[in-house]
Amino acid sequence: MATLTHGTWVLIADGEKALFLRNDLDEMNPDLNVIRIEEQENPSDAEQGSDKPGRMQDTGVQQLSSMEEADWHQLAKDRFADDLADMLYKSAHKSDFSRIVLVAPAKVLGELRKKLHKEVEQRVVAEIDKDFTNHPLDKVEKLLKSELDPAA
């Protein structure tokens, strides 16, 4: 069972915001402190799109088929996961942390997991499929403690 031991990092992320936290006490009384905050501007797909989708020649005479437009909002979220994985690798390489708990919605967690370097993967002690990005730190501490130790 994973615990929030002293010095354990916690990454709380969604597709647009990430909090890098460190537990400065112990697993019994977690005291999470912000190490770094990352946010990206990611307007809705409609705001990022240009025009109507393009058209291409189809097999029939004078027939055009519509082409699907890129989901710019989702692409930005995927790039954000790339950036987070890179930040984690740099921190792990500098030995800034030896243990980390990843907390993110399933889709973000999946994207992040695919991009993590082995040096970071080896330090992941738990993954929690939840969105805690908009909770105050004292509530995050309680939620993490109950997620990691249901008997608590």
Calpha distance 54→32 (Å, rounded): 49
pTM for this model (two decimals): 0.79
Give the pLDDT band of residue 15 (cuts 50, 70, 90): confident
Alpha-carbon span 152 to 146, nearest angstrom = 6
Per-residue pLDDT of 111-137, as tens digits, reads 999 999 999 999 999 999 999 999 999
Q: What are phi and psi of 79, to 5 degrees?
A: -65, -35
Question: pLDDT tens digits for 59-98?
Answer: 666 665 555 666 665 666 678 889 999 999 999 999 999 9
Cα torsion angle, 118, 122, 123, 127, sign: positive
Which domains are assigned to the chain?
Answer: 9-40+69-148 (3.30.420.60)
> What's the confidence (pLDDT) of residue 16?
87
In the predicted structure, residue 42 carries a pLDDT above the cut 50: no
Over residues 5-29, mean pLDDT? 93
Angle, helices 106-115 vs 72-93, to 10°: value is 50
